[in-house]
Structure 1
């Protein structure tokens, strides 16, 4: 894959949240806020979310699917950005929330989400998580295995009925990183069709569990909508139900050279298959995560060191502590200097952590980089906050919402005291 050695400012802006612009002096402005001003106020590294763009994306998702299939719900996959501030926005915009585990139940409830609009996922749910879900009144539990059924039948109180979906392995390959492929026959998630039929039959006999329908998921960061739509047929073969949850997985554009499907492309493909194969009047659910939040945030760093040799290494004050996507999935990112956007010499942007694999961007054009410069990496809204960590004693990064020129801190930076707060002397 080749990358433009000297991207224009216009090409760079295409990767940032819609509405991002350059100020009169050429400085990046996101959500109406200059990134240099945010860095001075909140420090670096810093995740900046364009709140207006985030809300608009949620509304666009609802419109895209409900205008094509009236009885459709959009459930935000919280694991992609599980902060209460993001979950609160999604709930306020009318989305359901997909939660994976007790921690995401907790943050969703703290965000004020209606528990009846939560869907609990997980391939290894514990008694504690099932109990949290039941006591909280979670609307739907996705059955991933027969042990889920055992736990629910034991922990749901007598006289209560818990609505459930059965997760089905569609047996489909996914053109993505192996760690993001979930629909193949050896996946740890869900049940193969024969086992799914057995689970459906068992739920039908239960006095505590109410079978609502089926769930499936092919994988994440898929750039071919036909791969996503292919998951409808395996569900249709299992029978007629009230609800069909088609999962998420729509890929996003991360690089100058990539092309990604539009939201309309995705909705057209999914609904066309639903019309052809599923009962009219049934309820559809889609679960966007990455495609909801990825483009609507960027991360701002400060350059700390520059080494010139066979490769020019531009080192910043963050790295794999705030972006594990590069080392975990091989995801390619781009970068630009905040005050000199577009063009420049080819460098490798590296992080501060003691790992050779701590490279944020291998080969990107920066214009006259210098120590103290601010550097912005776009499309960091998905999974970067999720997987932030304290490796090498790094303090987890803050999150700021920017909107119409106003900025609000929604997640604070770790303090030094946070690093030892869990130690028992």
Structure 2
């Protein structure tokens, strides 16, 4: 497993993260356990901010909270000076409960409900990223009821799609998100905003993909968006104040992944902006990294349980978690690397497949992991689980969701409590007709 941040092998031969021996973490907090390297999270946020500060661009960096949203994470984001991108009422509620400044929150999503829009308006968030015409009408109606003028960006599908190294340009991108650029939907949305006394259009948003390891796609997106900006200025007299280029910056999950440092992405974007816009028309540039901030900072610790060998076929090693705490291998065929945390200094000697304990054949975390001799009771550490693992955690098979701890400078702090069995049934209700009836005693 590739080590990130403060991860290292300590003098006991154990995996250590944030100055904490992972075997001690397991004894204290149990397994499965999400461990988040706080210093690495902060460093990633600062890398994006410092990269922009070295340019002549006006900018904002927002953390995409869908990657990992908790009260404690919101506090880290606030302390580091970033904005917060939310995509649901739950994420907004979490941010506000953490006392995150509403004026640094903006709201994404392709199907915002009236309740979500109302909560955002009432909280006074910075703006909404409007996704479709239905939403424009909803925003206008609810803001008018409140006597408000609502600031928005229009999400666009610019016809640039990134698949790691492969960039595809199409006239009309097929996506559930955003106003299509090729068909003229964006221009019609701009016209409606310009005619409204409620909708205050400030600019545009686009997102070209995820796990992007090169910069060409962002250059293409800037060029496409610059054309839109010029067209809207000429046709409607609209001056674009903000251009949000989304996220999608890749991380290293396994061998073969070669992500760039944040500064490389920012430098390429800054160069493309300078080429595409004159200094007078240059908008403020926003980015919204999520995975690239928390992904590599997360490690999941499991206890090894049963071991099953099929001679000449495969050796299965089962752990006490699985697709309930890491859905991505089953959902996306995502790949991960692992080590035995309690044998981190031992030489690998066998190839095994890491199985979860859920009742699904597809509940496999890693198909071929090269590890030291595995025994029941070992601690397996799976790296790069900071993004979309806790976020997608579920209760399939009535499995309680794991705890989350932040580690830094030799201390570990609980930020999400482990669910209990009582938590699992806390929302269940037995109808009166199904309640056990008391049988009268015989006289």
Give the TM-score, by structure 2 length: 0.90
Match of residue 198 from structure 2: 208
- Contact residue 306 and residue 314 of structure 1 kept, 8 A: yes
Match of residue 176 from structure 2: 188
* CA displacement, residues 172-214 of structure 1 (integer Å, 9 cap, x when unaligned): 2321599xx9997001100112111111111111111111000
* CA displacement, residues 288-309 of structure 1 (integer Å, 9 cap, x when unaligned): 0111110011000000111112
1:41 deviation in Å?
Answer: 0.3
* CA displacement, residues 41-60 of structure 1 (integer Å, 9 cap, x when unaligned): 00000000111111111111
Q: Alpha carbon RMSD of aligned pairs, Å?
A: 1.8
Count residues in correspondence: 410
Q: 2:114 & 2:256 partners in 1: Cα distance?
A: 46
Match of residue 325 from structure 1: 328
Q: 1:397 & 1:93 partners in 2: Cα distance?
A: 27
Question: Structure 2 residue aligned with 1:49, among 36, 61, 76?
Answer: 36
Give the TM-score, by structure 1 length: 0.93
- Contact residue 348 and residue 373 of structure 2 kept, 8 A: no
1:16 deviation in Å?
Answer: 3.4
Question: Structure 2 residue aligned with 1:335, among 307, 326, 338?
Answer: 338
1:351 deviation in Å?
Answer: 0.4
Question: Structure 2 residue aligned with 1:76, among 63, 73, 81?
Answer: 63
1:27 deviation in Å?
Answer: 0.3
Secondary structure at 1:202's aligned position in 2?
helix
Match of residue 108 from structure 1: 95
Give the 3 Å change call, closer, same or farther, for CA 182–252 of structure 1 in structure 2: farther
The structure with more radius of gyration:
2
- Contact residue 17 and residue 297 of structure 1 kept, 8 A: no
- Contact residue 303 and residue 379 of structure 2 kept, 8 A: yes
1:219 deviation in Å?
Answer: 1.1
- Contact residue 158 and residue 208 of structure 1 kept, 8 A: no
1:128 deviation in Å?
Answer: 0.7
Match of residue 314 from structure 1: 317
* CA displacement, residues 114-168 of structure 1 (integer Å, 9 cap, x when unaligned): 1111110000111111101101111110010001110011101454211100011
Give the 3 Å change call, closer, same or farther, for CA 251–318 of structure 1 in structure 2: same
Secondary structure at 2:210's aligned position in 1?
coil
Question: Structure 2 residue aligned with 1:93, among 73, 80, 83?
Answer: 80
Match of residue 438 from structure 2: none
Question: Structure 1 residue aligned with 2:209, among 200, 204, 219?
Answer: 219
Dislocated runs of 4+, deviation >4 Å: 181-184
Secondary structure at 1:331's aligned position in 2?
coil
1:33 deviation in Å?
Answer: 0.4
Q: 2:80 & 2:147 partners in 1: Cα distance?
A: 33
Q: 1:176 & 1:420 partners in 2: Cα distance?
A: 42
**1:24-423 correspondence to structure 2 within 5 Å:** 24-156=11-143, 157=145, 159-175=147-163, 185-193=173-181, 194-239=184-229, 240-280=239-279, 281-309=282-310, 310-341=313-344, 343-423=348-428
Q: 2:388 & 2:59 partners in 1: Cα distance?
A: 26
Secondary structure at 2:84's aligned position in 1?
strand
Q: 1:250 & 1:183 partners in 2: Cα distance?
A: 24
- Contact residue 172 and residue 180 of structure 2 kept, 8 A: no
